[in-house]
Structure 1
Amino acid sequence: MAASMPVWTRFYPAGRTVVREGDIGDSMFVIVEGRVAVMRQPDAGSGTTVRELSTGDFFGELALVTDCRRTASVVAVERTVLLEFSRAGLEEAGARHGIQEAVVRMTCQERLLADAFRDTPLLAELSPELKLELGSAFVPCAVEQGELLLTRGKPGTALYVLLRGRCAVFHTHNDGHTTPYPDLEEGAVFGEVSLLRGRPASATVKAATPCTLLRVERDVFRKFFLGEPALRRALVRLGLERMTRTLQVMVRSPYSMCSD
């Protein structure tokens, strides 16, 4: 294939890693021949296989649809032939290879939601019907390390589900000292307290690593979430548990007597 074309043919022997979780990506892949394993590796080790893909399937689309980092590693299970598409390649040549951009976006959304519903306890308990209804409310987004998602004292603008990465949570006192709370790990839901109570956020949440999240805007949250009694109860319960933990941390803090 000509070097100027934004589509390339790649050959991978069994056991070779095609993409690695956490890396920045700017292309997606279509399997022409062979089979790959999609693996999650939250910690060092062999990882967990989430799914296997074979001829005709594609992967890596999240990097093109949302600019998020790779959310999983993909390893060739057997000798595998791939077509690699840049963003321009998908736009120019995707249809010729049977890959429609609308299908890519829909599949990306479905895979992210499957991750969220599998790994987030609050969402995993929902009925299949409710999961289907709420699917369009979640919008994938990526943030880099250090980006603020919630700021203490300011109204929250969204509900978040943390799919990949880790977020730091802390309370900043008027004298400048901070009280840290336990970090938010993958599968955490946050931002619900401010949205449910209509009050400013009680703590600051900052990305401790590059993060991939699902975001529900405030107006969408009110439309989809507050009208579902089971989901509202679950969110209220989560909010109460979080506020209880916050009070316990504040009581133990040496700065709990400082003026806020």
Structure 2
Amino acid sequence: MADEAKAADGKVAESKSGEMTEEEKMARGRRRGRRGTVCAVPVTVEEGWTPPKYDKDDDVKKRIRETIAHNILFSGLEAGERDVVVDAMQERKFDEGAVLIKQGDVGDFFYVLESGHCDITVDGVGKVMDATPGTSFGELALMYNAPRAATVTATEPCVTWAVDQITFKKTIQSTTQKKRERHEAFIAAVPLLSTLNQYERLTIADALQQVDFADEVDIIAEGDDGNDFYIIETGEVKCTKSGVEGEVSRRLTTGDYFGERALLTNEKRAATVTSVTPCVCQKLDRATFKRLLGPLEDIMRTNMEVYNRYKDSVPTAPEPEPEESEDDDDDAEAAA
């Protein structure tokens, strides 16, 4: 939170997007203050639990996203995960003079200030900053039972969007688990990876990296070195090849994959894959695969039938047939 940093350094630092986050400021502030008790709170996501969803117009959602985009607690989340958290934030209103956060209390809410103004003060220091629309505070409360390091007081009527620790953790845990299961199912459908057991599939699922592509982007280009394997999360791509008119396969969509041979060989890309619509893909590179699970060939030896079937399915250029000549015909007759 902005307050703690200023208490430590005697500076005015705002917790707006792109500037120092609460967590960084909290760490600096605590160096000069008495240590509080901090502990993570475990949560259990009950079967069938779904994240809450509170109505907001698109402009409000956009402002919340912009506020949390550079916050250390949210920066590691994918866009879809942040959207789930934004949907789970509920409106909380405060009258002038209300205390949103009190220094020393154990926090349980994270706030984004939608409208109004707050003073942020630290005991023994006084006012350390102004909280204006777009300011966020309280993110450490989402992860730990951390005593508040400053007091936030409304100096006029305020509207905030807030999410509590349990809802946040359940939302992230639930979203992460569903994503993990979805990615495992994608991986299980790839014949080349069919010999992996569940643990290995989940290991790969956790290593996938999300990459976004606009439409009409060449994701892989024919002739380039192959290194990355892609699974399509959303969107549609087409495959083309030089010298071949039109598209060389059906269009690929959600759950389809391409570039899997890059996990096996260093061969050049055999075709160009271009996004037809904006696409979200999950990517895995060969170095990461080998670091996690060892050379692919070693894994494939556990099921040689599948391995040989895959090798046989890799097209090879046919050997050119020698042109026949009259001398060849004479040689053939002599041999006969």
> How does the TM-score come out when normalised to structure 2?
0.42
Match of 1:156 among 210, 222, 226: 226
Which secondary structure does the structure 2 equivalent of 1:115 belong to?
helix
- Shift in Å, 1:200: 1.0
Which secondary structure does the structure 2 equivalent of 1:112 belong to?
helix
Residue equivalent to 2:178: 111
- Asked if the contact 1:162/1:187 (under 8 Å) is kept, the reply is yes
- Shift in Å, 1:100: 9.4
Identity of matched residues, %? 15
Unmatched 5+ residue regions in structure 2? 1-15, 17-46, 55-60, 92-110, 113-134, 143-162, 318-336
Which secondary structure does the structure 2 equivalent of 1:141 belong to?
strand
Q: 1:98-247 residue pairs with structure 2 within 5 A?
A: 98=165, 108-120=175-187, 121-122=189-190, 126-173=196-243, 179-225=247-293, 226-227=295-296, 229-230=299-300, 237=309, 240-241=312-313, 243-244=314-315
Looking at secondary structure, tell me which structure has more strand per residue: 1
Match of 2:89 among 83, 86, 110: 83
Q: Tell me how far apart the structure 1 counterparts of residues 49 and 265 of structure 2 sit (CA, whole Å).
A: 44
| Change in CA separation of 1:55 and 1:157 when aligned onto 2, cut-off 3 Å | closer
Q: Tell me how far apart the structure 1 counterparts of residues 178 and 268 of structure 2 sit (CA, whole Å).
A: 32
Match of 2:78 among 58, 66, 69: 66
- Asked if the contact 1:196/1:236 (under 8 Å) is kept, the reply is no
Q: Tell me how far apart the structure 1 counterparts of residues 182 and 283 of structure 2 sit (CA, whole Å).
A: 14
Which secondary structure does the structure 1 equivalent of 2:280 belong to?
strand
Unmatched 5+ residue regions in structure 1? 1-5, 7-50, 73-80, 248-260
Which secondary structure does the structure 2 equivalent of 1:199 belong to?
coil
Q: List per-residue Cα deviations over 1:113-147 (Å, max 9, x = no partner).
A: 31122245136774222223323321122222112
- Asked if the contact 2:195/2:303 (under 8 Å) is kept, the reply is no
| Change in CA separation of 1:55 and 1:207 when aligned onto 2, cut-off 3 Å | closer
Match of 1:54 among 50, 53, 56: 50
Count of aligned residue pairs for this structure pair: 183
Which secondary structure does the structure 1 equivalent of 2:241 belong to?
strand
* CA RMSD of superposed structures (Å): 4.8
- Shift in Å, 1:67: 3.8
- Shift in Å, 1:105: 6.4
User: Whose relative contact order is higher, 1 or 2, with alpha carbons under 8 Å and at least 6 apart?
Assistant: 1
- Asked if the contact 1:69/1:212 (under 8 Å) is kept, the reply is no
Range 230-239 or range 138-147, more displaced: 230-239
Q: Larger radius of gyration, structure 1 or 2?
A: 2
- Shift in Å, 1:53: 3.9
- Shift in Å, 1:112: 2.5
Which secondary structure does the structure 1 equivalent of 2:251 belong to?
strand
- Asked if the contact 1:168/1:208 (under 8 Å) is kept, the reply is yes
> How does the TM-score come out when normalised to structure 1?
0.52
- Asked if the contact 2:237/2:276 (under 8 Å) is kept, the reply is yes
- Asked if the contact 1:165/1:185 (under 8 Å) is kept, the reply is yes
Read off the aligned partner of 1:139 and give its amino acid letter.
Answer: Q
